[in-house]
A and B are shown apart, each in its own frame.
Chain A
């Protein structure tokens, strides 16, 4: 069992215990929808309706209803596709990569972040299908036996790698999210008051009982799925970047694309997580679990990945100049000063300048500032994909082919429609499912809110200096006890080694950073049958 340094911010603030955690996270999922929810859900449905209309119009009238032409064969369709896939990556990073790095602050945000991933990938997947025009032939992308020879897809093509990558990513993300959801659905099931609700929740919670045998396997499954998802998330956006990098078009054909796209994906994804959670934590009154510290850690990741994206831009410029390749050089001059200069400068200001603002502690701990900056980051990352695709296509090798791209209402409708789909799904998720991973938060509860932290932090999680009177108490039997009283000896029973507690029965029986009192091991068993009367509860 690892210990946590006392100077780390507590991850759960306020007076809580396991019952309160369960109650506070489950009750929004059981309550009737509030008026605010209905209003938001209706707006999302409206946008979704607009999207459905646009998609139907496009299928019935063909791709000609878009603004694409022979020069610019990819416009809003692929821009939106890469945008949504990028957003999805943050969820998997939080769920998988932060689990592998043992970052416990992920436990209260991973459920909603992973849900965001699933919805984002759904929105992304819509575009490759609909940009085919003849969407009824979408099955031909899969290597299924058919009557045309059989005609197989070209496995050398990055477009097909995309199909495999996005499908795998979607499936594995759903599996990972759902596996983690099973114990929480069981919690909801055991709180349910009527038979139908019990039956439905039991069905979806797969009969989960909470047996330690199952938890043992569950933890291993989570770890292995995280280990599988990590290379998956890195490979998926790499493969998406291959859609561009494997071409010969200047501005696209560069090996910086895979790491650049992955960093950009994490950047935009975390910004979207911020946008969603800053609102959700206030509306659903979850500030105790999704603390300012959580928002701050995510802001730091945004600064890191935003800086990586800035470095990637600089690398592109440098390579264009250093290579002496006139076409590449022209692309970058055209991006900054050509007809689409406005999109380029929006991109630069939103992606390079705004993440640097989080160096200021004041800005990265203020939810309002974070929210505004996250909106700018999302806008900037959308424009980045727009700039990459449109400016490289509209002026490539042959000047007589140069053209302009004017998106039509159908394309705008589709973009807004996917936002509608995303928010519809997210509203449904927030209403009917536990937004925070209940079991995982309980798992870190003791370690990250042990009373000793309250020697440094007040109940709002604000650092306030060391108060020695508040140190050394322990949360035991539903109340806080001072371990000075406790005595680890159970002298009539087992002759177990009394210099170690059962808690330290793991391989690392590490001492806490606090000196022990009178030679007692402070984190040892607190229950003493001979001295204290602790049977009352």
Chain B
């Protein structure tokens, strides 16, 4: 690409600890949190219940996004029906009112649900940097099958990290480099 780079890349040495059971994973994570290790990321094949509490992750705000998109959808529905049936081409259909909102409830409801669902999913993919063609780095190909992979930032206490994780049930310990592409917007191609 050109010399002008808008991409910030952060590289960190990390310890990759691989577990094969979610119960031991939660145990080990509790220990890691108590010892104040810098856990960069955790990859699991399914959402492990209780993990948010252990690593102190807050509940996502996507529900608020869904609500806002729902309001947008309702506004869109009201505008559509209002403009077409009341402003642009009002008609006398059996003497009934020209903008009967009650009668339009099915339309308004469908617009609300549609925009809310599409908007929320689009937001989810955008903020998670997922999308068609996105190539994220996979640190262990078994993370989507039957292994639970923890990335802990390596440093002075690297030996301590490795021994603790092994003690608490890691089946594999590796060293790797965690690369974080801090793109302004998720793009379908990898910029260097």
The interface of chain A, by Cβ under 8 A from chain B, is: 1, 17-19, 22, 143, 149-152, 154-156, 158, 160-161, 164-165, 167-168, 171-172, 175-176, 179, 182-183, 186-187, 189-191, 202-204, 206-221, 224-225, 228-229, 231-232, 235, 239, 242, 438-440, 442-443, 446, 476-478, 490, 493-494, 496, 502-506, 525-527, 529, 534-535, 537
Contact = CB atoms under 8 A, between A and B. Distances in A.
Given A476-B21, A477-B21, A494-B34, A172 B27 contact: no
Given A224-B120, A232-B113, A537 B45 contact: no
Contacts of B109: 231, 235
Contact of B113 (A17, A152, A156, A231): A231
B45 A210 contact: yes
B46 A443 contact: yes
A158 B110 CA distance: 13
B106 A214 contact: no
Contact of A206 (B59, B132, B167): B132
A154 B121 CA distance: 31
B132 A203 contact: yes
A150 B125 CA distance: 37
A221 B124 contact: yes
A150 to B, nearest CB: 7
A207 B130 contact: yes
Contacts of A442: 45-46
B156 interface: no
14 contacts: A165-B106, A175-B121, A183-B46, A189-B144, A190-B144, A212-B52, A213-B128, A215-B48, A220-B60, A229-B117, A439-B47, A442-B46, A503-B23, A537-B20
B9 interface: no
Which among B22, B89, B113 has the greatest number of chain A C-beta atoms within 10 A? B113
Contacts of A202: 135
Nearest to B134: A207
A220 B55 contact: no
B141 interface: yes
Contacts of B49: 1, 443, 506
B75 interface: no
Given A213-B41, A502-B30, A156 B146 contact: no
A503 B110 contact: no
B8 interface: no
Given A235-B106, A442-B45, A210 B134 contact: no
B158 interface: no
B177 interface: no
A213 B89 CA distance: 50
B72 interface: no
A260 to B, nearest CB: 18
A356 to B, nearest CB: 34
A171 B120 CA distance: 13
Interface string B119-144: 01100110111111111111001111
Contact of B43 (A179, A211, A216, A220): A211
A535 B19 CA distance: 11
Given A179-B121, A187-B45, A477-B169, A210 B50 contact: no
For the complex of A and B, 9 pairs with smallest distance between CB atoms: A207-B134, A494-B34, A18-B146, A215-B47, A152-B84, A161-B106, A439-B46, A190-B141, A210-B43
Contacts of B60: 216-217, 220
Given A155-B81, A225-B120, A505 B47 contact: no
Given A18-B146, A212-B57, A220-B63, A206 B30 contact: no
A489 to B, nearest CB: 12
Interface string B21-44: 111101101110011000001111
B136 A207 contact: yes
Given A143-B84, A443-B47, A476 B144 contact: no
B144 A152 contact: no
B138 A209 contact: yes
A270 B91 CA distance: 43
A105 B133 CA distance: 34
A207 B131 contact: yes
B71 interface: no
Given A143-B80, A502-B26, A212 B41 contact: yes
A534 B110 CA distance: 55
A164 B20 contact: no
Contacts of A242: 106
> Which one of B21, B63, B142 has the highest number of Cβ atoms from chain A below 10 Å of its Cβ?
B21
